[in-house]
Chains A and B, each alone.
Chain A
Amino acid sequence: MARMKFVSDAERCIECNGCVTACKNEHEVPWGVNRRRVVTLNDGVPGEKSISVACMHCSDAPCMAVCPVNCFYRTDEGVVLHDKDVCIGCGYCSYACPFGAPQFPSQGTFGVRGKMDKCTFCAGGPEANGSQAEFEKYGRNRLAEGKLPACAEQCSTKALLAGDGDVVADIFRNRVVQRGKGAEVWGWGTAYASKQAGQPPVAGAKS
């Protein structure tokens, strides 16, 4: 199996925030923490584009590189996860992440920064798969239940794709061929270490 990946299709996203709601509900994410959010460019201007952003589970993750306590790890499926028992809440990962994925709860006394929380690709954490301890710290482990991330599975326009990188890339490629435009994918270059992706479209091409 290839690496698990997200692809957000800006041509299809209607900014409904269903993915954000599904994520918060599935994992009972606390108030103030958004593992996923919808970003809109040129909001209100004709031709505005929206995409759903969360941890992109980078192939060469900057968060892993800067963590001083080495709390991150990568599963065999390429999902970047972290151990909250090791995290010290320093926030370095937040500065390193190009997608703003790391979140910090702030309900503590004097607004103290708690342990980092981020999208797990619905793969939980280092606790036993599907256990209560895992759910309380990281949320549901849908991957171990044979399911895909809730955000993508409930996306009404299928703008957000999640799954085996080869499969979702194939679905997206077919879409682009069928509609003849919209091949640009935000964050592709960073998340997938692709040199071609993220470059401006060639002159004369549809976009």
Chain B
Amino acid sequence: MMRLACILALAATLTACGDKAQTLSGTKHDGAAFEGTTNPYNAPGWKAGDKTSWEQQLKTRTQYGQNEYTRAN
């Protein structure tokens, strides 16, 4: 009886000493940008998940927004 009580007491007191397992996870996987977001701020004119349309959207946006030679002349 005494032995069982000792074992139970030991188990109860030592459970707090358990250390969490530490694993080297490394860098998490990042989702591709062309997959889009779920927020409502996505720019119109392309389809989320379609890499080609996303690339075209960025190229069009770069030309329209940053190349004034194609707009002024």
Contact = CB atoms under 8 A, between A and B. Distances in A.
Interface residues of B, number: 33
Nearest to A124: B30
A101 interface: no
Contacts of B57: 146
Contacts of A175: 69
A86 B42 contact: no
Contact of B36 (A1, A82, A145, A152): A145
A131 B38 CA distance: 8
A164 B26 contact: no
Interface of A: 1, 70-73, 75-77, 81-83, 85-86, 123, 125-131, 141, 143-148, 152-153, 155, 158, 161-164, 167-168, 171, 174-175, 178
B30 A75 contact: yes
A134 to B, nearest CB: 9
Interface of B: 25-39, 41-43, 45-46, 54-55, 57-59, 61-63, 65-69
Contact of A70 (B27, B46, B55): B27
Secondary structure of the B contact surface, majority rule: loop
Given A70-B26, A70-B27, A81-B30, 6 more contacts: A86-B26, A130-B37, A143-B33, A144-B36, A148-B66, A168-B62
A7 B43 CA distance: 23
